[in-house]
Structure 1
Amino acid sequence: MTYRRQQILCDLQIRTALRQAIKTVREKYPFKIEAWVLLPDHLHCIWTLPPDDVNYSFRWGMIKRLVSRACAKDYKRHDWINASKRKYRESTIWQRRYWEHQIRNEQDFARHVDYIHYNPVKHGICNRVMDWPYSTFHREVARGIYTEDWAGDKTKPVGGDFGE
């Protein structure tokens, strides 16, 4: 999540820096992106790390640091730097904490992947999952995992036509 819920993550500069940071980190500390959605003020993802590697937080820290450095010129808010941010050398792009969940089984995995892909609709950003460009949903449609109309259209009423 962004610091103070800034609506910046879908900005081209942030997206480009995020993509490059992920590439850089994955070269040295590999992980597979199973699902991802980028929203204006937060993101959700599922990664698979190599066997016997649980260093998820280290990877996130590196990604956040690389994005912060790459975007500091345009996104660092000096008026938001307080003593705590200074002490922990934090940027004004990211919030300090994040939520982490270890996937327990295939059902849990499927449920979380669906949640990730549906998130832009849940937050009212779009009416159909297919309409949101910053998501692995499109990759999964191409692979035949989802259909383009998965989860329907939020603007269409559910059920039959009872008006006649």
Structure 2
Amino acid sequence: MKPHPDKPHRLSEIFSYYNPPVYFVTFCTADRKPILSNDSVHQKFCNFSENAIQHGVAIGQYVIMPDHIHCFIRMAPDQTLGTTIRLIKRSLSAAITDPLPHWQPGFFDHLLRHSESYSEKWNYVKNNPVCDGLVRNPDDWPYQGQITEIRY
């Protein structure tokens, strides 16, 4: 049977073109509580990210805002984005002293399709603290950085 000409390409074909894919991910706190922008959470995020490399998960540039986190993730084919985000949330919860729940269910992700998209998303992410009035210069925000260089 011949596929319908208006049907989109199979996801596996798309992913193989971007193999391994790079995701731009955002996940938020429950009720958007401002509980993330502190040294303890930042250190826990960095520790998790550095250890994730040996498990096939590369976390690139990131910004931790008071109530959400933006980051770029590239994973080995045997890893899943859902499991990775769940493990990050679980790890960070150990550094959060507020009562549960800490996290909004789920997350938002965007598959990057070209290098311009990566730099466009990073410029948006990097300027988040400025847009929210937390700092005047994006480089002054202490809860950002890069764990692994993800080349696109």
Match of 2:118 in 1: 109
Structure 1, unaligned stretches of length 5 or more?
A: 78-90, 141-164
Match of 2:109 in 1: 100
Measure, in 1, the Cα distance between the counterparts of 2:49 and 2:59: 10
Match of 1:62 in 2: 87
Deviation track 1:115-147 (CA, whole Å, cap 9, x = no partner) reads 11111112221111121122227x99xxxxxxx
More relative contact order, 1 or 2 (CA 8 Å, 6+ apart): 2
TM-score, normalized by length of structure 2?
Answer: 0.68
Contact 1:6–1:40 (Cα < 8 Å) also in 2: yes
TM-score, normalized by length of structure 1?
Answer: 0.64
Equivalences for 1:103-142 in 2 at 5 Å? 103-136=112-145
How many residue pairs get aligned? The number is: 121
Match of 2:23 in 1: none
Match of 1:19 in 2: 46
Amino acid at match of 2:114: N
Contact 1:117–1:136 (Cα < 8 Å) also in 2: no
Measure, in 2, the Cα distance between the counterparts of 1:22 and 1:34: 9
Higher helix share: 1
Deviation track 1:12-62 (CA, whole Å, cap 9, x = no partner) reads 3322333333344443x3222231111111111111223x35611111101
Higher strand share: 2
Give secondary structure in 1 for the equivalent of 2:108.
Answer: coil
The partner residue of 1:2 within 9, 22, 29 is 29
Measure, in 2, the Cα distance between the counterparts of 1:66 and 1:6: 18
Amino acid at match of 1:65: R
Measure, in 2, the Cα distance between the counterparts of 1:43 and 1:108: 18
Structure with the greater alpha carbon radius of gyration: 1
Measure, in 1, the Cα distance between the counterparts of 2:78 and 2:130: 33
Measure, in 2, the Cα distance between the counterparts of 1:25 and 1:94: 20
Match of 1:47 in 2: 73
Structural RMSD (CA):
2.4
Work out the percentage of aligned pairs sharing the same amino acid: 26
